[in-house]
């Protein structure tokens, strides 16, 4: 989806760990709707889209030790539909900012 809307390719847009400077967050956070569901993915996409200096370092995780995934298929589909709509609107705002 990030390639379709922003023409960027990143290794894992929704990786669970990222380190960002406050000026980076302050610059791009206003482009997202309030209560946006996938902020990590967009913050990563913005870095690539606006040609910011970003670096990806591979890390590994141990498999889940217990519990179950709290998001079921119905929720995933709903999140996906909303993301399609939001990405379209956010891409317009990002393109306007980019000039």
Contact 97, 31 (CB under 8 A): yes
**Per-residue pLDDT at 51 exceeds 80:** yes
pLDDT band at 99 (very low <50, low <70, confident <90, very high): confident
Query: What global pTM score does this model have?
Result: 0.73
Q: Which residues contact 13 (CB under 8 A, 6 or more apart)?
A: 2, 40, 41, 44, 45
- Delimit the domains of the chain by residue range: 2-98
Residue where the block lists tokens 């990030």: 2
Kindly state the average pLDDT of the residues 41-59. 89
Contact 14, 38 (CB under 8 A): yes
Q: Is 33 helix (H, G, I), strand (E, B) or coil?
A: coil
| Spatial distance between the Cα atoms of 18 and 29, rounded to a whole number of angstroms | 15
The pLDDT value given to residue 82: 87
**Per-residue pLDDT at 90 exceeds 80:** yes
Kindly state the average pLDDT of the residues 19-41. 88
């Amino acid at each position: 989806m990030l390639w379709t809307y922003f023409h960027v390719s990143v290794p894992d847009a929704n990786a669970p760990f990222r380190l960002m400077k406050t000026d980076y967050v302050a610059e791009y956070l206003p482009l997202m709707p309030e209560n946006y569901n996938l902020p990590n993915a967009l913050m990563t996409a913005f870095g690539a889209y606006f040609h910011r200096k970003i670096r990806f370092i591979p890390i590994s995780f141990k498999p889940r030790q217990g519990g179950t995934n709290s998001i079921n298929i119905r929720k995933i589909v709903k999140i996906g539909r909303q993301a399609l709509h939001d990405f379209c609107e956010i891409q317009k705002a990002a393109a306007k900012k980019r000039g």
